[in-house]
Amino acid sequence: MTERLAAIIVAAGRGTRAGPGGPKQWRRLAGRPVLAWTLDAFRKAGIARLVLAIHPEDRAQAEALLRPGEIAVTGGADRAASVRAALEALSDSPPDLVLIHDGARPLVSRAVIAGVITALQDSEGAAPALPVIDALWRGQDGLVQDTAPRDGLYRAQTPQGFHFAAILNAHRAHSGPAADDVEIARAAGISVAITPGCEDNFKLTYAPDFARAARLIGAGTGPQNMDIRLGNGYDVHRFTAGEGCWLCGVLVPHDRALQGHSDADVGMHALTDAIYGALAQGDIGRHFPPSDPQWKGAASHIFLRHAVDLAASMGFRISNCDVTLVCERPKIGPHAAAMQEKLSEITGLDLTRVSVKATTSERLGFTGREEGIAALATACLIREVDA
């Protein structure tokens, strides 16, 4: 695909029907925000120009997902207003064609996207749909009142594609809400071709939908179409005079500190090296040389964040990580939960995918003599590849 094609991802809603847990587009699905899966689906389809229509409160987390050339715009009070805002953002350098997709449809396939694009070669608009195959009833007060014919009925999906100038003018002429962009297009006299939809391309609406989506993602994560990497990290820092140790982002009270060029966070250093190792990208010293004075006393979250961002830039997501601290003192147990939360915050992983634990060396070796602390870490990285 080329720059003549753009895609708008609509993600400004609050998703209250999905129950508690925050807006559905930002909830975790197989360890990642729903929107991360949706954006990747269009990237894999070769679409580089993406516009994300968001709620103003979500800008920071939206920008964390975007890549160069992708933008976020503030949406409106309803879906139509959000799409209009995104279309206007594209109008200064308009594409020929635009696809408009629900952010809460993370399992859209390349085949569905390609079908819409192909149909636009001969049609003013195109959208995927599935024919209604179940019997239809009209009901009232929990009782069936009547049946309805299903001939010619379809279940609409997205992305819905249009020639850009035509759908922009249609939105500018439209007032009030609309069920989707096909409704707005047809009101403006634009004909819309029906292209093949897919059962997996469903919209996350209710709480059980997340479990269904997770199962489908899990079913497609076998070795035949996944690049799975494991990385190990090991680090040691000796004790020095001080009043506490930085361990996995938490300042743990102690009668000594750890010595190092940075803040000497041995746990975070080991995890950072585990991620670099999985990527075959060396270690912290390659990316942040101790000979460089700018890293003197630096907070180690800078290093870990760099490793996480590097993984993302190479197409990998971190599936889980595990850190073990080896020391006699300080006692890690009372602080392990806070460390877990800190690493979760920095890596963007769900708490259930971050492990922090400790062990002693039974008074053996330098850790047993309380000369320093050692840390070991493992990280699993996953990248989808073409089957």
Query: How many CB atoms sit inside 10 A of residue 73's CB?
Result: 20
Do 192 and 301 belong together in one domain? no
The answer on 377 and 258 residing in a single domain is yes
264 phi-psi bin (left φ>0, alpha ψ -120 to 50, beta other): left
Say whether both 209 and 236 belong to one domain.
Answer: no
pLDDT value of residue 15: 67
Of 171, 187, 219, the one marking the end of a domain is: 219
Which tokens belong to 203?
């919209």
Confidence of residue 14 (pLDDT cuts 50, 70, 90): confident
Q: β-pairing, 28-29 with 125-131?
A: unpaired
Reading the block at residue 48, the tokens are 């580089």
Domain's final residue, options 162, 186, 219: 219
Question: pLDDT of 132-180, one tens digit each?
Answer: 999 999 999 999 999 999 999 999 999 999 999 999 999 999 998 899 9
Of 167, 193, 219, the last residue of a domain is 219
* 251 and 198, same domain (yes or no): no
Give the tens place of pLDDT for each residue, 57-85. Answer: 999 999 999 988 899 999 999 999 999 99
**Cα end-to-end distance, the chain, whole Å:** 20
Name the domain count of the chain: 2
- Which CATH number goes with the domain that contains 301? 3.30.1330.50
Q: Which residues pair with 257 in a beta bridge?
A: 240
CA distance 23 to 55: 10
169 in the same domain as 100: yes
Nearest Cα residue to 217 out of 202, 207, 229, 230 = 202
CATH number at residue 188: 3.90.550.10
Same domain, 330 and 213: no
Strands 354-359 and 317-326: parallel
Q: Are residues 264 and 299 in the same domain?
A: yes
What are the pLDDT digits (tens) for 327-373? 999 999 999 999 999 999 999 888 889 999 999 999 999 999 999 99
Full domain range(s) for residue 279: 224-384
| Same domain assignment for residues 251 and 379 | yes
**Same structural domain, 207 and 256:** no
Same domain, 38 and 106: yes
More confident site: 108 or 384: 108
Q: Both 231 and 373 in a single domain?
A: yes
- 223 pLDDT tier (thresholds 50, 70, 90): very low
How far CA 232 is from CA of 235, 273, 321, 344, 381, in Å, comes to 10, 7, 10, 18, 11
Average pLDDT, the chain: 92
pTM over the 0.75 mark: no
